[in-house]
């Protein structure tokens, strides 16, 4: 008896869409994934309105998302144990003998490819495979990187439709020429709730050689959305040989009512350290909230463009008082995906939102009730600490008019933010570019729920990028130093810490960051003087008093100033000791970096000798 002919999962109309790109390598990639993963059906999406509607409709129809009460809103639940990036199983594939240095989870390339291919054998059986096209960076920009996404998750495709610019037209325009990134994702076998159930086989492998990422048996968007953090690693590696950088930074336009100008800043903050809330301050505009391309301009300045067009933001703590712009967007009709929040009667609830929380509902653990515990006896919170929202920046009232400008926006300043209780002052300006690189490279921040592991532990996170580095740290820092040295008008570099505490109480109000930004803006334009200290330039009380009055209509007392800007000499020197141990163990860290460390250490020790141990009032340096 003759075996039945197996139906080709790729219909002729979809093959035609691939042929129109005139890109044999791209077509070969799609064919290879089909042979390996064996999907039942393949759909090629060009980003037209009908395709966008199809993706969202299927995400809802298949239960990957559920509609909420407000039109356009939907909710997605990741598995209970799939709530953050799995760093242990996220690996950079390297050739034999290639070293990435400490802190980077590297793995032999041939072994890694063999392992991932074995795990992917037939992983899409019975599923529909989606072939999607996007652009990292603005369309028709020197920053643009065309990207191919292959996935069996309509939720992933829906997220990417919100987060990234459609790229089918760019692939078609290039007519088979030029490089591109590609990403292959599968949620894998699903349980009765539609969640990935093979978490023991969860993998995210980054193949730098072929500019591709394999990520499987996961749904959390930070891992499953290929163009998010997986693409970030590819971009960092590629930028090392180019004249631009790819950074874990927001881009925001800062306005002051008394000034007829906009000053653009980028900022790098570890997760839950104030990054999105800084980018979304009322009265300012947002270009991007997470990833930035930064390159030199013909005017001698640095210019920045948003890698994305949307926001995948942490929703915890967003409320009507502290975040009025986001609150308005999150509570009115528009296309938004909520993830891992509590839902009751079609209404989403999250931590510290300012509303009474129901005693029952549905969340990432399934049906939920107050006091519910997991299999290990731990109480399950009603909303995951890493619950998120996904939306287009264009939905925001404060979206910057230059958000999609191919040239990007000119940078006045770069902010490095950390999260510690008793070391860093709320804001300072680096003494020069090299010192700014040192400030960014020595960030320590308390760990949060965005990665799997213990929370509240002080962790070194240079430039808020250590989890995503795909080049040795020494090479990355050398590129930073060279980038600034090549600019005639480099951005000023600042460092912030919104989480300073005294006896458990925060010394900064949530809205104070607007004052710190206004101070930085004034420094960029040489309008404010500052006090030189061993760790950098800090504000004068008289300037902050005026800025607090103008920005918040708040009296800023000298006592508050002294508490916040006291230099905790012993704690600062302890940090330098930790940094010495970290960076001396790294390969090829630039000498210019160590010169800044040695200078800061020398000046702090001199201040301790002159004025005594412990803490020093900022007035000592005035």
Instruction: Scan for tokens 């390159």, then name that residue.
Output: 295
Contact present, 97 and 268 (Cβ < 8 Å): no
**∠ Cα 445 449 450 (to 5°):** 85
Contacts of 556 (CB under 8 A, 6+ apart): 515, 541, 544, 545, 547, 548, 549
Distances (CA, A) of 47 to 157, 162, 169, 184, 307: 11, 11, 9, 18, 18
Angle between helices 541-552 and 558-565 (to 10 degrees): 110
Active-site residue set: 273
Please give the Cα distance from 96 to 197 (Å, whole number).
33
What is the 3-state composition of the chain as percent helix, strand, coil, each rounded to the nearest 5? 35, 25, 40
Closest CA to 362 of 75, 580, 582: 75
Please give the Cα distance from 183 to 226 (Å, whole number).
5
> Which of 418-436 are b and which e, b meaning 16 or more Cβ less than 10 Å from the residue's Cβ?
bbbbebbbbbbbbbebbbb
- Phi/psi for 171 (5° steps) reads -60, -40
Instruction: Scan for tokens 């287009």, then name that residue.
Output: 392
Cα atoms in the 13 Å half-sphere on the side-chain side of 264: 25
Torsion of CA 523, 528, 533, 535, to 10 degrees: -20
């Amino acid at each position: 008896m003759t075996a039945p002919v197996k139906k080709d999962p790729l219909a002729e109309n979809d093959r035609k869409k691939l042929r129109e790109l005139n890109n044999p390598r791209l077509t070969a990639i799609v064919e290879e994934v089909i042979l390996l993963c064996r999907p039942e059906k393949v759909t090629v999406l060009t980003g037209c309105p009908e395709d966008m509607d199809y993706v969202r409709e299927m995400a809802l129809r298949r239960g990957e998302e559920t509609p909420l009460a407000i039109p356009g809103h939907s909710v997605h639940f990741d598995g209970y144990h799939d709530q953050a990036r799995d760093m242990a199983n996220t690996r950079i594939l390297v050739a034999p003998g290639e070293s990435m240095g400490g802190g980077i989870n590297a793995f032999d390339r041939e072994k890694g490819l063999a392992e991932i291919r074995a795990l992917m054998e037939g992983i899409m059986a019975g599923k529909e495979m989606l072939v999607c096209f996007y652009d990292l960076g603005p369309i028709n920009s020197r920053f643009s990187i065309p990207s191919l996404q292959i996935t069996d998750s309509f939720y992933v495709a829906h997220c990417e439709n919100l987060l990234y610019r459609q790229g089918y037209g760019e692939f078609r325009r290039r007519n088979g020429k030029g490089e591109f990134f590609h990403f292959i994702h599968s949620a894998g076998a699903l349980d009765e709730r539609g969640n990935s159930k093979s978490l023991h086989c969860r993998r995210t492998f980054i193949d730098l050689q072929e500019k591709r990422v394999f990520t499987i048996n996961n749904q959390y968007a930070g891992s499953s959305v290929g163009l998010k953090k997986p693409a970030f690693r590819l971009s960092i590696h590629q930028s090392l040989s180019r004249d631009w950088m790819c950074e874990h930074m927001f881009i925001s336009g800062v306005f002051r009512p008394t000034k007829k100008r906009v000053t653009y800043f980028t900022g790098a903050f570890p997760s839950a350290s104030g990054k999105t809330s800084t980018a979304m301050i009322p009265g300012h505009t947002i270009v991007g909230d997470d990833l930035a391309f930064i390159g030199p301009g013909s005017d001698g300045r640095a210019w920045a463009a948003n890698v994305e067009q949307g926001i995948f933001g942490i929703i915890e703590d967003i409320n009507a008082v502290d975040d009025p712009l986001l609150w308005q967007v999150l509570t009115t009709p528009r296309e938004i995906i909520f993830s891992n929040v509590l839902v009751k009667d079609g209404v989403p609830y999250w931590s510290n939102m300012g509303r009474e929380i129901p005693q029952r509902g549905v969340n990432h653990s399934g049906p939920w009730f107050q006091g519910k515990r997991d299999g290990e006896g731990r109480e399950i919170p009603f909303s995951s600490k890493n619950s998120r929202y996904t939306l287009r920046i264009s939905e925001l009232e404060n979206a910057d008019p230059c958000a999609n400008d191919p040239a990007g926006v000119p940078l006045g300043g770069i902010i490095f933010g950390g999260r510690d209780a008793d070391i860093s002052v709320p804001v300072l300006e680096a003494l020069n570019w090299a010192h700014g690189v040192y400030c960014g490279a020595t960030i320590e921040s308390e760990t949060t729920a965005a990665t799997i592991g213990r929370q509240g532990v002080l962790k070194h996170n240079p430039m808020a990028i250590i989890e995503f580095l795909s080049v040795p740290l020494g090479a990355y820092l050398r590129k930073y130093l060279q980038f600034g040295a090549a600019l005639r008008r480099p951005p000023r570099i600042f460092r912030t810490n919104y989480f300073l505490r005294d006896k458990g109480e925060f010394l900064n109000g949530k809205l104070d960051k607007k004052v710190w930004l206004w101070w930085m803006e004034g420094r960029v334009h040489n309008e404010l003087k500052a006090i030189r200290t061993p760790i950098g330039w800090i504000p004068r009380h008289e300037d902050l008093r005026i800025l607090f009055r103008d920005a918040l209509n708040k009296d800023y007392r000298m006592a508050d100033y002294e508490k916040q800007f006291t230099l905790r000499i012993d704690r600062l020197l302890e940090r330098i000791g930790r940094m010495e141990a970290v960076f001396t163990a790294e390969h090829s860290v630039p000498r210019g970096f160590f010169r800044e460390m040695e200078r800061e250490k020398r000046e702090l020790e001199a201040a301790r000798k002159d004025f005594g141990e412990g803490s020093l009032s900022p007035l000592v340096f005035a």
